[in-house]
Amino acid sequence: MKLQDFWSHVDPASADMCWEWGRGVGNNGYGRCSIGSHQTYAHRVAYSLSYGPIEKGLFVRHLCHNRKCCNPAHLATGTHQDNMDDMRLAARSNWGEKSNFCKITESDVLKIKQMAQYRTQQATADHFGLNQSQVSRIVNGKRWAHL
């Protein structure tokens, strides 16, 4: 596809609604397109066409949380952390309790932090069926840092 044809594949319903990409979508739900021989995400192209080049290292975030949306008014740049915060706030994350691999709950994490103040990390780990290194990461804020 040529860059000048990009907008012909977007349905601009109205200024304040999502403009969904009307072509291919990747396994992750984001609109995908080829500009020349370069594969990219449709929302990144929409942002670049509307606002200019995307600063190196920044993500284009969907403020509407619709992965197929190309409405420039719904897009903003931000850091990886900004993008992760958006995902968590929109409850689109499979991290923490939502993960299929999670052994503990947020309530358990709070108890672990309390117990580790008066018991060894190993004793706390044994109580919850974890290993000591997992407890250490929780206590030091490297895991479950939002709590």
Which tens digit of pLDDT belongs to each residue from 10-61?
Answer: 988 777 899 999 888 888 889 999 888 889 999 999 999 999 999 999 999 9
Give the length of the chain.
Answer: 147
pLDDT reported for residue 96:
58
Query: Could you give the CA distance from residue 113 to residue 142 in angstroms, rounded to a whole number?
Result: 12
| Helix locations, the chain, DSSP H | 42-51, 80-89, 106-115, 121-128, 132-139
At 77-98, the pLDDT tens digits run 999 988 888 777 766 655 555 5
DSSP SS3 for 26: coil
Answer whether 0.85 is exceeded by the pTM: no
Q: CA separation (Å) from 98 to 88, 92, 95, 106, 135?
A: 11, 10, 6, 10, 19
Q: Round the CA-based radius of gyration of the chain to a whole number and report it.
A: 21
